[in-house]
Amino acid sequence: MANKPLSGYKVLDMTQFESGTVCTEALAWLGAEVYKVERPGRGELGRRGVAEPDKDTYGFLIMNMNKKSITCNAKDPEGLKLLEALVKECDVVVENMGPGSMDKLGLTYEHCKELNPGIIYASLKGFSQVGPYANYPAFDPIATHTGVMVSATGLPEQPIKCGISVADSGTGTMLAMSIITALLHRERFGVGQRVDIAMQDFMIGLSRSQWEPYYANGRVPNRRVANGMPLEDVAPSDTYPCKPYGVNDYVHIYCSRAPGSKQWDNLCEAIGRPDLKQENCPEMSTPRERFKHRDICDNAIKEWLKDHDKFEAMDILCKADVPAGALLDVNDITNDPQYIERGMMVDIEHPQRGKVRVPGFAPKFSEVEIEYKCSPELGGSNEEVYGGLLGLSPEKLAELKEKKVI
């Protein structure tokens, strides 16, 4: 890992669950030395589950690759001293604990800065630490509901939250980018700094396209349009069922609303309905006219899809320059060799779970190869970090373990 972009940087990882762990995993993939701090004997809250209390959860495995685990009872004075010593040695502290938790431990930004003036202290919370919601607890669905997204997602009469953790993983990824920015700033200007990010704020930024219709429509709340185009009533813009009509046998089809687009005519040719082309059918002449008469548009598409599965439909339409996307689920992605070949899905060997195929790092670099290592054994790097980095003797380590400090 010595030739990676973040090689040589040390990260004290005080994160748990998803948002923070996604951040530090990205830093670890890019070469940073990430010391994941966990509770002695139990690990972080996401490591073990109720169903299998003696095994690492798949979620922990997926979100903690390439890290080194150290155990520490931060509430014990000796444990706090260990963390303070590590702050002096590290470049970055990352935490996503509940509001006020780091303050109670005594590891505030101000204290860490006293220990290490160049430290980058990164915090991820549900809400801004300087706003009226600062002390409110939050998980991913709270952030997506308070951050515009859910107001625009679902049916007209029923908002529906997203099925994946957009706020958690998205905010974690943004924080990783922000930490790298702070490190670059330190390289150029010689100062460390605090980096704060709130999941609600990230979601507001991610939802920025919602302000276009908000202003265009007279500052009224935006509509929910299910699978339609939220910016304008156009057709086709929907998710259509395909053969063999299983739970995820669908394809989304959208034709551009841009003036002069030929995508609708291309679709008509592809599905064998030239009679519905813009010049041949007044009801299909514009995206808005097609929306008004979407029963004609949608029925033609649905009839054609009776003979095609989602993969065939996507292939035929995309080759005709019609935007179409098969509804691919986790099983589809896991078992498609193309994702293995390009490193989007990777196989790792876990001591408890065996061979597991998991998502990798989305960016691909011409000069950087991402290596994937299994998530760490609980406390597996205690000797390396406390002994090698901090210089504690084997006898002292044994004493701390006996006292359940580590």
Q: Is the pLDDT assigned to residue 278 strictly greater than 70?
A: yes
Out of 168, 201, 238, 265, the active site residue is 168
pLDDT digits (tens, 9 = 90+) for 47-77: 999 999 999 999 999 999 999 999 999 999 9
User: What's the whole-model pTM score?
Assistant: 0.95
Cβ-contact 38, 379 below 8 angstroms: yes
Active site includes 329? Answer: no
pLDDT digits (tens, 9 = 90+) for 167-223: 999 999 999 999 999 999 999 999 999 999 999 999 999 999 999 989 988 998 888
| Domain boundaries, given as residue ranges, for the chain | 10-205+338-402, 237-241+250-326
Q: Which tokens sit at 5? A: 């972009």
CATH number, domain 10-205+338-402? 3.40.50.10540
- Written as one letter, the residue type at 116 is N
The fold of 237-241+250-326 is formyl-coa transferase, domain 3 (3.30.1540)
